[in-house]
Chains A and B, each alone.
Chain A
Amino acid sequence: MRITCPICGERDRREFHYQGAAVALDRPAPDAGAESWDDYLHNRENPAGPTRELWHHEAGCGAWLVVTRDTVTHEMQGSELASALQEADS
């Protein structure tokens, strides 16, 4: 499996650490309530198809990426810097 890092280019997946769904980007407000926090921390979809997930280019530049990947075809559909996405959001 190969992952494209927006900074370093396409790399072997062994350079990356997998973190899980990109849901982790949407941290609820401290007072959002137990249900929101529960969803944020624990509840995950198990999609057959495109999924957004977090990968850390740990053995490379250290960037956190949001990688869009199809769990059915294993196709890599894109990767973006998590920081760029978050800054654009805020």
Chain B
Amino acid sequence: MRLTGGGLIDRGKVMRFTFDGRSYEGVGGDTLASALLANDIRLVGRSFKYHRPRGVMTAGSEEPNALVTVGRGGQQEPNLRATMLELHEGLAARSQNAWPSLDWDLLALNDAFAPFLGAGFYYKTFMWPRAFWERVYEPIIRRAAGLGALSGAHNTDTYEKAHAHCDLLVIGAGPAGLMAAREAARAGADVIVVDEDNRPGGRLNAETEEVDGKPGYLWAQELVAELVAMGNVRLMTRTTVTGVYDQGSFGALERLPAEVAARPGAPRECFWRIATRRAVLAAGSLERPVAFAGNDRPGIMMAGAVRAYVNRWAVAPGRCVAVFGNNDDAHRTAADLMAAGVHVAALIDSRPDARSDLDLPFYAGARVCGSSGRKGLEAVDIELALGRREKIRVDCLAVSGGWNPSVHLACHMGGRPEWSDDIAGFVPRDDMVPGMAVAGASAGAMSTHACLKSGVEAARTTLSELGIKMPDKAPALPQADDAPYRITPLWQVHGKGRAWLDFQNDVTVKDVAQAARENFRSVEHMKRYTTQGMAPDQGKNSNVGALAVLADATGRSIPQTGTTTFRPPYVPVPIAAMGAGAQGQGFAPRRLTTSHAASQSMDAPMIEVGLWYRPSYFPRAGETSWRQSCDREVAHVREAVGIADVSTLGKIDIQGADAAQFLDFVYTNTFSTLKAGRVRYGLMLREDGHVMDDGTTARLGQDHFVMTTTTAAAGQVMRHLEFVHQCLCPGLDVSMISVTEQWAQFAVAGPKSRDLLNGVLDAPVDAERFPFMGCGEVTLGDVEARLFRISFSGEHAYEIAVPARYGESLFRLLVARAEEMGGGAYGMEALNVLRLEKGLLTHAELHGRTTAFDIGMERMISAKKDCIGKAAAARPGLTDPDRERLVGLKPVGAVKQLTAGAHLFGEADAATRENDQGYVTSVGFSPTLGHFAGLGFLKRGPERHGEVIRMVDHLRGIEALCEVTAPAFFDPDGGRARD
């Protein structure tokens, strides 16, 4: 029911919304929860396991019951807390976990079976028959239990992630946080103040008390305005700090208001990573319930939340309210309700010595021991001091079991809080998080005055650590309430009936007691056995209560029992927000070559090679399969000329007086003997003796080399070179930089390659200036290019490199010329077949477990010098002749197909693991040879050329007899490339 006056709401702004399809009205400043309560909606959801009717219980992010789903299809978002959901025009929310409807939920039948569904029920109940677990029990349990459901559709909303930096991060904009922020801001620090509410002020927005002679909310509002005007304070509302990480890193989730999120391209939520030098945690405290029979009925709420609804939202959660508590704070709720004109039927205080001056029925030393009502509270049973019982008819009960400081974030680095008898709660210890001070109610300061004071103190300590100067004397504190907080703990009211501890996961006192009986005495075991604290709310309402009950059941004190571990995130964080931008194509960066558009215009299907996109083949009219295109492209290269973009290979420019010496150390073979204007193939090992990469390196000048790496290993090789230089031989005069993206490079391969080049270069090339493995500068008009006479196809071939901006036009030119000469562009498929025919290697063979010995290049490890990997490569295990070593494979039986990944066996052996002789790494159909050609690794391979073995592909069900051959099938002496 909406009260006629008061509240921090805009009554003039009426908004329509629906809940479960029915239409209601709310006003500006409402949350969905306050609007539902204003419309007298008490039943808002069904519980997790027993499908019990549940209502709004809190007014913050700790809400366990009022979870709703908003949106449809790709925009469906489940488990939104109605208490955090700002009302907006047209909001359509749906209740969860009820079928067919919230009012008439068939699974409420579970409640009748509650005796069988206690702690660990499914560990015990669904044991037999075993096969039933996956097919019968689990699907049924999964359907019945649980919270909101995902739509299964692709999320179409926009999310963002962002970074922020500051000197001081203040978590919480209540009295403590605002004072800390002001102190730091006045001293000139860069401050970020984060609060999960849309309105800064914390509890001051929910209370009637005054600060500095004005209403608390107004004081907060004015202070916030002052802070924001200072320029060095950034206020982030609707933002929850979700986790604390090393070196002052914080995660935070910002929810954007609906009107902002509705703008085109605007995000719905933003995940922040905040890096700060210091932090002040002023996150306040959370009120805890008391466990008594039937304490989960809609209408039973936290006392502080009732105050918040009355004072901030001008909503009476009931027409006739009782207040039940164990501390002075509960009395404020009764007073505020009365001041707002709500009838308070009883104030029940469990402390026998409690006093009250309020004009209402006051029960000291009494306890609420039961409740009744079908879908909402109708009456509570109280047990008076002398054991007499009374029934009081009320539709709302405000409960306060005391306040738990919000220590969560202080514990994210693994620290454990300590028990304070004064406030009957856990408080943080000093230095649990380096650089973080805790202030206000989070630190156990329970009055507004104490909060203001500790906020200033926390800021001053922090600033002095940062060496920021401030006035010697702290400023005078604003006048504020300093009433003592007196509490006598009351965790549970013993009696018949189920008393809830964890509302979101349906865990009762009985469950915890049973866990203790079954020897799950450790609080961590109890948690996992009962599932207490494991729901999205992570037990914010229930953890302390549950461990108090466990302590009682095991005869230990609460500090002896200890807490479970606090882990991020503090509130649920959508994966969509954390991974914002990484959906679909955003999942990985895309690297495109300069010829990309040209390849696409030729209808080439692109394939991913690492992050690069490369053309697979270039289909021509009449070709119906990739094999036809590939065979033709291979023939182009073998018979005329082909063009391929090889820009994706890593290119590292290496310069310096000691560059040659450096290369001698990173390559197994020698580069210092290479003459300028020449290129050499190099083999690079890891220090453990296995092959890291291979490629060619050209000596452009005495002190200038350009190294090529394979596409896949470019990053790894660059990092390795930097490591070797900086960490192993920093004295060498050598510098290096990746120039992969600065140069576009194209292979011009085939018997007509020189003719083609001579048609486009300013000066013709000849065998004298460009012999096999020669290199040098050439020009195409104004463009200075580099030409390398190297071959990955076995043909007379060149690679020409131009600055990347000329790449596309050169590619188009080369392809056009090649086509005129009976050739054309060739893609990755043809490139692979061409190198296979020659037995040349890629990372299919250099896969990290092969050695120079395995690939038949042991003689490339120079005996005359040291190099990376040389010592390890000589270990007996890496030169064992029994190792699987590189061979060529050629089908000789009835089956003509070879498959990569297949394993090799003796012809007569069973194809079992014990008999495994090796495996196939690459295959392709060679149009040149007219049969499949494969490369693989076979035990004692080089000794077995000519032997027939059996290839078995268990996965694809293919078997073929193969002859073991040398790896190079075509032109083995390499004459075609040299001529």
Chain A interface residues toward B at CB < 8 A: 1-3, 10, 12, 17, 19, 24-25, 27-28, 30-32, 34, 37, 40-42, 54, 56, 58, 62-64, 73-76, 81-84, 86-87, 90
Contacts and interface: CB of A to CB of B under 8 A. Distances in A.
B390 to A, nearest CB: 56
B690 to A, nearest CB: 11
Contact of A37 (B727, B866, B871): B871
Given A41-B688, A62-B722, A64-B722, A86 B248 contact: no
Contacts of B727: 24-25, 54, 64, 82-83, 86
A14 to B, nearest CB: 9
A28 B275 contact: no
Given A37-B872, A41-B688, A87-B730, A56 B722 contact: yes
A56 B728 contact: no
Contacts of A64: 722-723, 726-727
A30 B275 contact: no
B413 interface: yes
Interface in B224-255: 245-249
A62 B872 CA distance: 27
Nearest to A24: B727
B714 to A, nearest CB: 13
A10 B273 CA distance: 15
B731 interface: yes
Nearest to B686: A41
B275 A2 contact: yes
Interface string B146-181: 000000000000000001000000000000000000
B540 to A, nearest CB: 26
B759 interface: no
Pairs of residues from A and B, 4 with the lowest C-beta to C-beta distance, nearest first:
A2-B247, A83-B730, A83-B726, A1-B246
Nearest to B870: A30
Contacts of B413: 74
B248 to A, nearest CB: 7
A35 B871 CA distance: 11
A82 B249 CA distance: 26
Given A2-B275, A12-B275, A41 B872 contact: yes
Select the residue from B163, B248, B723, B866 with max chain A CB neighbours within 10 A. Answer: B723
Contacts, number: 75
B719 A82 contact: no
A88 to B, nearest CB: 10
A12 B875 CA distance: 40
Contacts of A2: 246-249, 275
A-side interface mostly: mixed
A83 B727 CA distance: 5
B210 interface: no
Nearest to A19: B723
B574 interface: no
B728 A27 contact: yes
Contact of B247 (A1, A27, A28, A58): A1
Select the residue from B247, B275, B728, B875 with max chain A CB neighbours within 10 A. Answer: B247
Given A1-B245, A28-B871, A74-B246, A41 B687 contact: yes
Interface string B260-298: 000000000000010100000000000000000000000
A1 B250 CA distance: 9
Interface size class of B (residues with CB under 8 A): 20 to 34
Interface in B866-912: 866, 870-872, 875
A72 B249 CA distance: 17
A75 B163 CA distance: 22
Given A56-B722, A64-B726, A87-B730, A30 B866 contact: yes
Interface in B190-246: 245-246
Contacts of B764: none
A20 B413 CA distance: 23
B434 interface: yes
A87 B727 CA distance: 9
A30 B871 contact: yes
B249 to A, nearest CB: 6
Contacts of B875: 34, 37
A78 B723 CA distance: 20
Contacts of A42: 688
A82 B687 contact: no
Contacts of A12: 163, 249, 273, 275
26 contacts: A1-B245, A1-B247, A1-B249, A2-B246, A12-B249, A12-B273, A12-B275, A24-B727, A25-B728, A27-B687, A27-B728, A30-B866, A31-B871, A41-B872, A54-B723, A73-B434, A74-B246, A75-B434, A76-B246, A82-B726, A82-B727, A83-B727, A83-B730, A86-B726, A86-B728, A87-B730
A73 B432 CA distance: 10
Nearest to A31: B871
Contacts of B870: 30
Given A56-B723, A64-B723, A84-B730, 9 more contacts: A10-B275, A12-B275, A17-B719, A54-B723, A56-B722, A63-B726, A64-B726, A74-B413, A75-B434
A54 B498 CA distance: 57
Nearest to B729: A86
Nearest to B727: A82
A54 B728 CA distance: 13
A76 B247 contact: yes
A28 B869 CA distance: 12
Contacts of A73: 434
Select the residue from B725, B727, B730, B866 with max chain A CB neighbours within 10 A. Answer: B727
A70 B577 CA distance: 31
A90 B247 CA distance: 33
B712 to A, nearest CB: 17
Nearest to A87: B730
Contacts of A76: 246-247
Contacts of A41: 687-688, 872
A87 B434 CA distance: 34
A31 B650 CA distance: 33
B875 to A, nearest CB: 7
Contacts of B731: 87, 90
A64 B718 CA distance: 12
Nearest to A32: B871
A30 B731 CA distance: 19
A27 to B, nearest CB: 6
Contacts of A83: 725-727, 730
A27 B725 CA distance: 13
A37 B866 CA distance: 14
Contacts of B434: 73, 75
Contacts of A62: 722
A37 B869 CA distance: 10
Contacts of A90: 730-731
Nearest to B730: A83
A29 B726 CA distance: 18
